[in-house]
């Protein structure tokens, strides 16, 4: 039976941070803590293990004590490149993916994704905020690495397009849309700090 002990969390910190003036978003501070620390703290009780996907500052990320894996594809090819390198590095049957810049994870994120996957006999479970799919919050078996590898080898990079090739269940998170409130710009970070949501 699929449970947290079969799941590795993959925290995606491999982007360019274009809207953050090129800064490494996982290391950008919110209320004096790097964003990735909020994500690690929230997901750690929900999974068996954690992998950090980073394409720079690997030494800084390694200080958290988790494996740091970099994309095999050069030049920041998007989240799917992070998915596949984590699939190949994981020692569990499934991975749950999430970005490094979303500090408001619910305590039952993984449980909800697992329920959605199993209840619907799906291959992939993806979070839905009530309005739209949130594609980087997903749960999938590592056995999909061959499918994903073929997709990437064909030159495709669009996450929704790859999902459409598989049985996808949408996990309902409409009751906690703040889960998907991420930080792409310095202005968004400052607004969050001023709102006091982290106290």
- pLDDT tens profile 43-62: 999 999 999 999 889 999 99
Q: The pTM is what?
A: 0.90
Give the whole-angstrom CA distance, residue 67 versus residue 151: 25
The CATH number of the structural domain formed by 4-193 is: 3.90.550.10
Predicted confidence (pLDDT) at residue 18 exceeds the cutoff of 60: no
Give the tokens for residue 57. Answer: 């500052």
Which of 67, 160, 53, 173 is CA-nearest to residue 111? Answer: 173
Across 66-74, average pLDDT: 81
């Amino acid at each position: 039976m699929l449970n947290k002990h079969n799941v590795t969390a993959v925290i995606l910190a491999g982007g360019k941070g274009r809207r953050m003036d090129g800064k490494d978003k996982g290391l950008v501070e919110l209320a004096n803590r790097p964003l990735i620390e909020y994500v690690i703290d929230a997901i750690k009780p929900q999974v068996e293990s954690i992998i950090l996907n980073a394409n720079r500052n690997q030494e800084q990320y390694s200080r958290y004590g988790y494996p740091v894996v970099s994309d095999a594809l050069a030049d920041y090819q998007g989240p799917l490149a992070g998915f596949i390198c984590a699939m190949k590095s994981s020692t569990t049957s499934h991975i749950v993916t999430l970005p490094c810049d979303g500090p408001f994870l619910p305590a039952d994120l993984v449980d909800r994704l697992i329920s959605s996957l199993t209840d619907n006999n799906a291959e992939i479970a993806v979070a839905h905020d009530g309005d739209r799919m949130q594609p980087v919050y997903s749960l999938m078996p590592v056995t999909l690495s061959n499918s994903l590898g073929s997709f990437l080898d064909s030159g495709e990079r669009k996450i929704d397009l790859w999902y459409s090739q598989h049985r996808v269940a949408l996990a309902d998170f409409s009751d906690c849309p703040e889960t998907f409130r991420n930080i792409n710009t310095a202005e968004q970070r400052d607004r969050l700090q001023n709102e006091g949501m982290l106290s």
